[in-house]
Amino acid sequence: MEVFKMKKLIGLLCSITLLVVLTACDGSSTGGNDDQEVIRVAWWGSQMRHDATVEVIELFMEQNPDIYIIAEFFDPDGYWTAFSTRSAADDVWDVFQMGGNFQQWIDDILDLTPFIEDGTIDVSRTNDAFLATTNFEGFQVGISNGVNANGIAIDPALFEAAGLLVPNENWTWNDFSTAALAIHEELGIYGSSALSDFIALTIMATQSGANFFDPETHSHTLGFDDPSILVPYFEMRRDLVQAGAFPDSGRLATITDIEGDLLVTGDAAMTWVASNQFITVANAAGRPLQLLPLPRLAANGESGMGLTSSQMFSVSSSSEHPEAAARFINFFQNDEEANRILAGERGVPIMSHIREMLEATASDELRTVYEFVSLAGELDTGSGNPLESPNNPEIRDHFEFLLEQVIFGQIEAEDAAQDLFEFARDVLARN
């Protein structure tokens, strides 16, 4: 409890210190002068993020003398406490960092579509897939400051030792299973470490032609009516565990963090990662790894790939200077000098020229991530594959319960698929 209080106090002191630094130049409590528009910018994050963002704000003000920025920095706990207070008072910062919980605060957010259409926010060097990560029914809730994509990290040396070729980008789940079984048979290790099972199941549903959750109802109903599309995933996981090519739940429970993954320790040749985890996994492994897109149901079929935003900058619906706020977001996204300072700390930038600039001096691992996210952006149609629902925890827990029963032969995969379909449908119907 004392640690929690101290973290909140540090966040508060950081924001107070920052306010003093940025307003002391003219002695006023709001900053700026009569010829300037004053906007407030707020975010949460590490000290490194804080320092870089302040430097970018100062650079922006140098190049845009008609705008003065008051900045506030918080730890995550302090940020959401302050946001809630400001939201209740209809006094949210002009520009603020926002995450995947944006629907909860949608009344505080201004649609940025008009600023995109008139060119205030230049999106000519990104595409619809990247913009879709922060778009809600045509409502542009923000511009993503960094994106991620799910993939499979592999150890190519272990593939070679097992007599296998490294898969290409359109490999299938059958290829995945075949490789896992061959690696186990030849090398005596697991073919694969952990998979993010529920996300993998929902992606496989998309690959079959039907989203697990219906995007038209904001994930409040199911997007399919045939439980049989869920059967292959249950069967694949059962077969791999029973063959010894995939760890059972007891072995998986020993993995406490990504740095202790079985791929890192050399006990598996593949593992599921979000793209932002790849550098950590590769550095922990201390040997060359590769990052592949998720397998497909068919080599020429739907990829199911989707980009997700780590967080974004949004504009307040109550802002008195929304154009000035949009100009700052455009600078933050598109200015090369600013992004050299930011260094992609918030995630892989969505603007292609910024990615290319950072890639030029990036490590091999970081370059791999950038290239992978660019590929994911090409494979993602931007049509929307919702992986999340407000009811995800309850549905996911039931799925994992059923998966264990299938793996240990207590129920058939077909029965588990039917059970999950009915359970998820009923949960969504009552909420």
Structural domain boundaries in the chain: 2-146+308-363, 149-306+385-429
**First CA to last CA across the chain, in angstroms?**
34
In angstroms, the CA 312 to CA 367 distance is: 22
Q: Which residue has the tokens 């009344």?
A: 107
Please give the model's pTM, rounded to 2 decimal places: 0.76
Return the higher-pLDDT residue of 74 and 8: 74
Token output for 178:
């075949």
Q: Tell me which residue has tokens 């032609």.
A: 209
Please name which of 200, 168, 207, 198 lies closest in space to residue 296, comparing C-alpha atoms: 207
As a whole number of angstroms, the distance between CA 388 and CA 212 comes to 10
The percent of residues in the chain predicted with pLDDT above 90, rounded, is 66
Which residue has tokens 């760890």?
247
Cα–Cα distances in angstroms (integers) from residue 151 to residues 43, 102, 134, 341, in the given order: 28, 25, 21, 28
DSSP state for residue 300 in the 8-state scheme: T
Cα–Cα distance measured from residue 294 to residue 305, given in angstroms and rounded to the nearest whole number:
7
Residue-averaged pLDDT of the chain: 88
CA distances to 19, 33, 60, 298 from 316, rounded to whole Å, are 19, 22, 19, 44
Checking if the pLDDT of 312 tops 90, the result is: yes
pLDDT in tens, 152-180: 999 999 999 999 999 999 999 999 999 99
Q: Which amino acid is at 242?
A: Q
Instruction: Provide the pLDDT confidence category of residue 277 given band limits of 50, 70 and 90.
Output: confident
| Nearest-angstrom CA–CA distance, 105 and 405 | 39
Which helix (H) or strand (E) segment holds residue 380: the answer is: none
Asked if 384 and 215 count as a contact pair (C-beta separation under 8 A), the reply is: yes
Domains 2-146+308-363 and 149-306+385-429 share a fold: yes
Residue 404, token pair as written in the block: 């264990």
Overall average pLDDT of the 316-336 stretch: 98
Amino acid 388: pLDDT: 63
Average pLDDT over residues 120-146: 92
Choose the CATH number for 2-146+308-363 among 3.40.190.10, 3.30.479.30, 3.50.30.10, 2.60.120.890.
3.40.190.10
From 311, 376, 370, 387, select the one nearest 127 (Cα to Cα). 376
**What pLDDT is attached to residue 378?**
83
Q: Which is more confidently placed, 346 or 18?
A: 346
Q: Per the structure block, which two tokens stand in for 62? A: 């140098």
* Predicted local distance difference test score (pLDDT) of residue 1: 37
pLDDT at 374: 84
Residue 112's pLDDT is: 98
Among 68, 72, 24, 73, smallest CA distance to 47 is for: 73
Both tokens assigned to 398? 């039931």
- Say what the pLDDT of residue 266 is: 97
Burial class (CB in 10 A: 0-12, 13-18, 19+), 348: buried
Structure tokens at 369: 């991530």
Residue 17 has pLDDT above 60, yes or no: no
- Two structure tokens written together for 422: 């009915």
CATH 3.30.930.10 fits 149-306+385-429, yes or no: no
With a pLDDT cut of 70, the percent of the chain lying above it is: 90
Minimum mean pLDDT range among 97-111, 292-306, 354-368, 370-384: 370-384
Ranges assigned E (strand) in 108-232: 135-136, 139-140, 143-154
pLDDT on residue 145: 95
Both tokens of 394, joined, read 């309850």
Residue 268: closest CA among 382, 163, 152, 394: 152
What letter represents residue 373's amino acid? V
How far apart CA 298 and CA 140 sit, in angstroms, is 33
Q: Which one has a higher pLDDT value, 106 or 26? A: 106
**What's residue 11's pLDDT?**
46
Cβ atoms of residues 188 and 242 within 8 Å: no
pLDDT bucket at 19, cuts 50 / 70 / 90: very low
Q: Assign 294 a pLDDT band (cuts: 50, 70, 90).
A: very high
Beta bridge partners of 271: 153
Write the DSSP symbol of residue 108.
G
Cα three-residue angle 148-396-237, rounded to 5 degrees: 85
pLDDT at 15 (0 to 100): 44
* pLDDT score of 16 more than 90: no
* Cα 352 from Cα 356, distance rounded (Å): 6
Q: Are 9 and 74 in contact (CB under 8 A)?
A: no
Confidence of residue 240 (pLDDT cuts 50, 70, 90): very high
Residue 315 near residue 109, CB atoms below 8 Å: yes
Q: E strands of 262-398, at which residues?
A: 270-274, 290-293, 307-315
pLDDT digits (tens, 9 = 90+) for 184-226: 999 999 999 999 999 999 999 999 988 898 877 767 889 999 9
